[in-house]
Amino acid sequence: MTVRPGLAGAVAALVATALVMPAAAGENPVERSRDAAGVLDFAGRVRVFWVDPVGRHETVVRVRAADGVVVVEGLRRIVAAGDDRLVSADSAGWHLVWHADPVPSDAPDMWRKYRVSYSPGPVVAGRLTRLVHVMSGGVVRERLLVDIGSGLILARDQYDARGALRRSVAFEELRLVPGRAVVPQPAADRSPRPLDGGVRGRAYRAPSVLAGGYVRLGAYRRGPAVQVVYSDGVYGLSLFEQRGRLGEVPGLARPVRIGDGRGWHLTWPGGDVVTWQAGDAVYTLVGEAPPEEVLAAARSVPPPSRAPLLERLRRACRGLLDLRA
Amino acid sequence: MIPGHPGPLLSALLDGELEPSVAARVRAHVGACGACAAELRAVSEARSAVRSLPRLDPPAGLFRVRRARVRAAVAAVAASVAAAAAVVVLAEPHPAPVRPKVAEFVDAHVATASLTGDPVSELVRAGIPTGTDR
């Protein structure tokens, strides 16, 4: 069969246009992958790479999914069963860290901040992929390789503002095979309690929006801390707020400037953590966004205003009573 | 005082503090009683001896030092009261030290991020310890 060059060129141009044009609304590759992970049975190995001030690190984690339950088996084990999340890190057994009841509200539309383009991707773990570039401000933030057949994200590379690779996860083996998953019985319930979002008398000061377009999705009480959850449509941030003064600094943390004071920044395999003191509260921001965005979001948390005289008098009297007690 | 003798009235007699009629009776008694006459002489001599002692001025600066000490004490009390008031009104109780539980916070964050983002790529990163406070 012969194909006229003009027609072949037109077809190629159409295909190329379809692949690189911005995705239509509703085609969020992250959402599609989340839906796929909830219904597919699969098993595989995922290579995890990350960079921190110590150097470059790499390890392999096993993943399997069946009946809507995803199990991760690395040095720690994690189970996602519906909206429940369980973690097992030691001999103390499984901890329920999230229960279905207090689910955050939907993330904001990613198209407000990001532009996405598609192009043919390489074969990953024996499967054809589509390459998705997630860009913001003309800079590639993420490079996703999405399984054309299943919609699963098979590889995810994250870059910093200078374009340097910071983190990567990639399936190096994937088998779509039926499986069976058992949800473990938790030994301890550390799931949070949802908090009212009202301003008056609320238990936290975290604002409704952080720098970078991060919108508050919910707030939850976790023991002495309040976790306020944010999203920009692609990345999530959790701002933990607790009363007190910053005592011992987390290990491996580096000093950074936050407002008029000093904070501490550290890197974990999946993201960055910033902790600092502001007034009578200690804030800890955790996120998988690029590190400069996490820092900018931390710096956008307004410092607490000084309490009114009567409130200070009330607190002082209560403090004196506490001392006497 | 021996009953029937004027006793303390002798000193009052010398000071001229008695009513004329009483003074006349005391004098009459002293004129007839040798013991009271001797006591009157002794009281009179003692008064003269005391009055003959030289007058002494207080050391220089005695009152100035006392006034300064009083002022300092008052100022210290006032300062203490003011400081206590300032502490109560202006200061807030020193908050307790907090050590952020970074590993637990990361677990909590991963749980929420896997709900709103891609669960597999979010959760595999939590399969690796943070190495901060475990």
pLDDT tens string A177-200: 998 888 989 988 988 988 865 544
For chain B, say whether A280 makes contact (Cβ under 8 Å). yes
Examine the pLDDT at A69 and tell me if it is beyond 90: yes
Percent of chain A, pLDDT > 90? 52
Using a CB-CB distance cutoff of 8 angstroms, which residues of chain A are in contact with residue B101? 225
Contact between B129 and A73 using a beta-carbon 8 Å cutoff: no
Looking at residue A283, its amino acid is: Y
Examine the pLDDT at A305 and tell me if it is beyond 80: no
Percent of chain A, pLDDT > 70? 82
Confidence class for position A109, pLDDT limits 50, 70, 90: confident
* β pairing state of A69-73 and A77-81: antiparallel
Cβ-Cβ pairs closer than 8 A, A with B, add up to 220
Distance from CA of B83 to the nearest CA of A (A): 14
| Selected residue of A97, A109, A241, A264 to mutate for chain B interface (largest B Cβ count, 10 A) | A97
Distance from CA of B72 to the nearest CA of A (A): 29
Cross-chain CB nearest to A244 (options B96, B129, B131): B96
Sequence-separated (6 or more) residues with CB below 8 Å from residue A43: A62, A63, A64, A65, A174, A175, A177, A179
CA B123: distance to chain centroid?
69
Examine the pLDDT at A218 and tell me if it is beyond 50: yes
* pLDDT at residue B93, rounded to an integer: 61
Cross-chain CB nearest to A242 (options B90, B98, B107): B98
Examine the pLDDT at A72 and tell me if it is beyond 90: yes
Please write the tens of the pLDDT for every residue from A7-38: 444 444 433 433 334 444 447 888 889 889 88
For chain A, say whether B86 makes contact (Cβ under 8 Å). no
Please write the tens of the pLDDT for every residue from B4-38: 788 878 888 888 888 888 888 888 988 888 888 88
Confidence class for position A213, pLDDT limits 50, 70, 90: very high
* pLDDT at residue B52, rounded to an integer: 80
Examine the pLDDT at A64 and tell me if it is beyond 90: yes
Looking at residue B85, its amino acid is: A
Using a CB-CB distance cutoff of 8 angstroms, which residues of chain A are in contact with residue B133? 250-251
Instruction: List Cα–Cα distances, A261 to A277, A299, B92, in angstroms.
Output: 8, 10, 19
Residues 10-69 of B with CB under 8 A from A: none
* pLDDT at residue A276, rounded to an integer: 95
* pLDDT at residue B10, rounded to an integer: 84
Please write the tens of the pLDDT for every residue from B53-97: 877 776 767 667 777 888 888 888 888 877 776 666 566 566 788
* pLDDT at residue B132, rounded to an integer: 54
Confidence class for position A324, pLDDT limits 50, 70, 90: low
Distance from CA of A218 to the nearest CA of B (A): 10
Examine the pLDDT at B125 and tell me if it is beyond 80: yes
* pLDDT at residue A236, rounded to an integer: 92
- How many whole angstroms separate alpha carbon B91 and alpha carbon A174? 61
B102-116 vs B119-126: helix crossing angle, rounded to 10: 170
* Three-class secondary structure assignment of B56-85: CCCCCCHHHHHHHHHHHHHHHHHHHHHHHH
Using a CB-CB distance cutoff of 8 angstroms, which residues of chain A are in contact with residue B83? none
Please write the tens of the pLDDT for every residue from A263-281: 999 998 889 999 999 988 9
Residues 181-220 of A with CB under 8 A from B: 190, 192, 217
- What ipTM did this prediction achieve? 0.83
Mean pLDDT of chain A: 84
Sequence-separated (6 or more) residues with CB below 8 Å from residue B35: B2, B5
Confidence class for position A205, pLDDT limits 50, 70, 90: confident
Using a CB-CB distance cutoff of 8 angstroms, which residues of chain A are in contact with residue B88? 313, 316-317, 320
Percent of chain B, pLDDT > 90? 6
Distance from CA of A17 to the nearest CA of B (A): 27
Contact between A288 and B122 using a beta-carbon 8 Å cutoff: yes
Distance from CA of B85 to the nearest CA of A (A): 10
- Determine the average pLDDT of the residues in A143-153: 95
Examine the pLDDT at A250 and tell me if it is beyond 90: no
| Selected residue of A28, A268, A273, A313 to mutate for chain B interface (largest B Cβ count, 10 A) | A268
Using a CB-CB distance cutoff of 8 angstroms, which residues of chain A are in contact with residue B86? none
Confidence class for position B131, pLDDT limits 50, 70, 90: low
Examine the pLDDT at A130 and tell me if it is beyond 70: yes
For chain A, say whether B4 makes contact (Cβ under 8 Å). no
User: DSSP secondary-structure letter at A242?
Assistant: E
- Determine the average pLDDT of the residues in A75-102: 85
